Amino acid sequence: MHNNHDDRPALAGHAAQQLDFWEQALARGRLSRRTFLALAAGLGLSAAQAAPLADYAQQVQDNQRKLRSALRKRYDYIVCGSGAAGSVIAARLAQDSNTQVLLLEAGDTDQAPSVIQPSAWFTNLGTERDWQDVSEPQDGLLGRKMAMGTGKVLGGGTSINACNYARGHRNDFALWQAESGDPGWGYDGVLQVYKRLENWQGPADPVRRGSGGPLWVQPAHRPNACAAALLDAAEKAGIPRQADANGVLMEGGSGAALLNHNIENGHRLNMPTAFLYPMMGQPNLTVLTGAYVDKLELERGHATTVVMRWQGQSLRIAASREIVLSLGAINTPKLLMLSGIGDEAELNALGASTLCHLPGVGKHLQDHILLGGCIWEYDTPLPMTNSGADSMVLLKSRPELQTPDLYLVHIQLPYASPVVAAQYDLPQAGWAIAPGLLRPRSQGTLALRSLDPDARPVLRPNYLQDPDDVRALIRGVEISRELGNSAAMREFAKREAAPGHLKGKDLENFVRNASTTFFHASGTCRMGTGADAVVDAQLRVRGVEGLRIADASIMPRITTGPTMAPSMMIGQRLADMLLGQA
In this predicted model, what pLDDT tens digit does every residue of 113-141 receive, in sequence order? 889 889 999 999 999 999 999 999 999 99
Query: How far is it, in rounded angstroms, from Cα 96 to Cα 12?
Result: 31
State the catalytic residue, choosing from 169, 261, 410, 520. Answer: 520
Identify the H or E element spanning 566.
helix 564-578
Cβ-contact 461, 520 below 8 angstroms:
no
Residues 6+ apart with CB under 8 A from 417: 371, 372, 373, 513, 514, 515, 516
Question: Beta strands 375-378 and 260-261: pairing type?
Answer: unpaired
pLDDT for position 19: 76
pLDDT number for residue 16? 66
Question: What's the pLDDT at 2?
Answer: 47
What pLDDT score was predicted for residue 40?
Answer: 84
Count the helices and strands in the chain (H runs, E runs). Answer: 16, 24
203-224: burial string, b at 16+ Cβ within 10 Å, e else: eeeeebbbeebbbbbbbbeebb
Q: Which parts of the chain register pLDDT below 50?
A: 2-6
d(CA 556, CA 537): 11
Q: Residue 37 and residue 23: Cα distance in Å, rounded?
A: 10
pLDDT at position 53 is: 80
410 is catalytic: no
pLDDT at 3: 45
User: Which amino acid, residue 179?
Assistant: E
Contact 135, 144 (CB under 8 A): no
